[in-house]
Structure 1
Amino acid sequence: MNLPYEPDVAFGVHPDLGVAAAVADNRPHLDEVLRKHHFRYSQDLDVYLLPEGTPHNPAVRTVAAATREFQDTDLTVAADPRIMLPPPIPAPEGVTARAIQPGQSLTALTGELHELRRSADVAEVLEQILDEHHGAVGDLEEFIDTAAAWCERLDTPNGRELGQHLRTIAHHVAFLGDRLADAQLDLSVMPDTTPQDAPPMAEVPLPSRHEVPSVTHTARARTAVASSPNRPADLPEAPEEAARSPAAPPSPRRTR
């Protein structure tokens, strides 16, 4: 990465060792901040590295937090944009892995809505969320399905039950995506434009939401009998769980 100036700190990606940080000199403050954010100096490579096996999302958050701290003290920071690229999702042999895409921030998309005035522009933002390759709705569905598969791999009654419950939730997410697609289509054909004298979005109160119900006795009973390092996995089910009707069958995954 060729820069027109030498920053105080530069973050990059090592092909084998993950996220790395290089400093312009040996000022104690640079070392202190990097070590505070779990970077460790490698004398052989003359760079700072995160612990081996640090997952992608924590690594990105660590770089962001360290960058803010450096910038708060008027230090210059450069970062390789490839840090934002997530690792490929493992796929069975013979199946093409999903193409790596930089993550989209729902917070950033929500911020975009505050500046839009045309229905068609709002529809375009919704389309990004619904994109079949890297939209937030499809990614959430895939995440829940993967969590369900993880639970089922435990091969215990609790694991199978929770896996089935998660697959039902994934079905609801797919249904939510369909409803959002309907709203996106309606917005795309609406000719409406926000009046010039309309109040800023920040001053418009958000719709009230239904209160989230408290944890049920059944859920507490499930937690009480869940396997843990100090409790065997084959304890009997809570009476409420035994009497409950079977959960809905797993839903077919949407084509992504």
Structure 2
Amino acid sequence: MNLPYGPDVAFGIHPDLGVAAVADDQPHLDELLRKHHFRYSQDLDVYLLAEGIGHNTAVRTMAAATRELQNTGHTVAADPRIMLPPPVPTAHSTATRTTQPGNTSTSLTGELHELRRSADVADTLEQILDEHHGAVGDLEEFIDTAAAWCERLDTPAGRELSQHLRTIAHHVALLGYRLTDAQLDLPVMPDATPQDAPPLSDLPLPARCTVPIVTHTARARAAVAPSQKRPAVLPATPVEAPRSTAAQPSLRRTR
């Protein structure tokens, strides 16, 4: 389709099919969108991603396509509602959780670099701890949901992993309590950082522990490795041969 006064490519939300794009009728735009897994729908005259793709994957795909389009000199427009994640499914007796854009741990970490008053830092940390939209509660709910998924397998391994995940979720909840203590201590600290204080980005951060990279092969080996809960399968005992009446040589080793 031709967009004479609009951008070269525009991204939006289709009510049933998710992230969609319309583009000017140029072959290289079609090629670039297909490179980023958008496929043209002749019936709807729009570009769509694969059916059933996750929200976060769709947003990352759109962002990657946007960067490449802009780097090649094209104009791009996007509906900000694309960034809103879908509501989390809940039971009929539970109120549906509304989503809020920009309230992520990454965006809040960026805000810290611009703050100077301890009370403002406390307010930012309170957003992390918010009962309904905070990152800590979201992480705990995610792990609990993953545990429920494993438990739904109805297998011994699934139930064991479910219990392990629920233990991790409990640790996340404890982390929230510790962060709440820190959040309550912030307002009683000195009100503001000195004007000559170095930028936050210049201060060295504590070294993080390195998380080992586990390959699929290593996971497969670990899955069949013996443990206290899963003992190794011993080889079958061979049938003992009839004993000979002849004298047997000594099996004792001599030095």
- TM bin (shorter chain): 0.7 to 0.9
Name the residue aligned to 2:22: 22
Give the drift of 1:103.
5.5
Give the drift of 1:94.
3.7
Following superposition of structure 1 onto structure 2, how do residues 101-112 of structure 1 map, counting pairs within 5 Å? 101-102=100-101, 104-112=103-111
Q: Deviations over 1:16-69 (max 9, x none)?
A: 11111011x211221111101111111111110111111111001111111111
In structure 1, the residue corresponding to 2:229 is in which secondary structure? helix
More displaced 10-residue stretch of structure 1: 175-184 or 197-206: 197-206
In structure 2, relative to structure 1, the CA distance for the partners of 1:76 and 1:85 (3 Å cut) is same
In structure 2, the residue corresponding to 1:91 is in which secondary structure? coil
Distance in 1 (alpha carbons) for counterparts of 2:164 and 2:213: 18
Distance in 2 (alpha carbons) for counterparts of 1:138 and 1:77: 35
**Paired positions, count:** 224
Name the residue aligned to 1:66: 65
Give the drift of 1:155.
1.0
Following superposition of structure 1 onto structure 2, how do residues 89-168 of structure 1 map, counting pairs within 5 Å? 89-102=88-101, 104-168=103-167
Name the residue aligned to 1:240: 228
Name the residue aligned to 1:189: 188
Q: Is 1:179 matched with 2:169?
A: no
Distance in 2 (alpha carbons) for counterparts of 1:137 and 1:12: 30
Contact 1:90 1:97 in 2 (8 A): yes
Give the drift of 1:221.
9.2
TM-score by length of 1: 0.80
Q: Deviations over 1:201-236 (max 9, x none)?
A: 122111234565898xxx9799323xxxxxxxxxxx
Name the residue aligned to 1:57: 56
TM-score by length of 2: 0.80
Identical amino acids, percent of aligned pairs: 75
Q: Which amino acid in 1 is paired with 2:223?
A: A
Q: Deviations over 1:147-189 (max 9, x none)?
A: 0001111111111111000000000000001111111111123
Distance in 2 (alpha carbons) for counterparts of 1:211 and 1:21: 40
In structure 1, the residue corresponding to 2:113 is in which secondary structure? helix
Distance in 2 (alpha carbons) for counterparts of 1:135 and 1:19: 26
Contact 2:99 2:133 in 1 (8 A): no
In structure 2, relative to structure 1, the CA distance for the partners of 1:37 and 1:178 (3 Å cut) is same
Name the residue aligned to 2:34: 35
Distance in 1 (alpha carbons) for counterparts of 2:32 and 2:185: 50
- Gap regions ≥5 residues in structure 1: 226-236, 244-256
Name the residue aligned to 2:199: 200
In structure 2, relative to structure 1, the CA distance for the partners of 1:81 and 1:69 (3 Å cut) is same
In structure 2, relative to structure 1, the CA distance for the partners of 1:211 and 1:75 (3 Å cut) is closer
In structure 2, relative to structure 1, the CA distance for the partners of 1:42 and 1:90 (3 Å cut) is same
Give the drift of 1:74.
2.0
In structure 2, relative to structure 1, the CA distance for the partners of 1:34 and 1:220 (3 Å cut) is closer
Contact 1:11 1:22 in 2 (8 A): yes
Q: Is 1:46 matched with 2:45?
A: yes
Name the residue aligned to 1:247: none
Which structure has more relative contact order (CA 8 Å, sep 6+)? It is 1
Distance in 2 (alpha carbons) for counterparts of 1:221 and 1:39: 34
Q: Which amino acid in 2 is paired with 1:240?
A: Q
RMSD across aligned C-alpha pairs, in angstroms?
Answer: 2.3
Q: Which amino acid in 2 is paired with 1:33?
A: L
Contact 1:221 1:238 in 2 (8 A): no
In structure 2, the residue corresponding to 1:115 is in which secondary structure? coil
- Highest Rg: 1 or 2? 2
In structure 2, the residue corresponding to 1:78 is in which secondary structure? strand
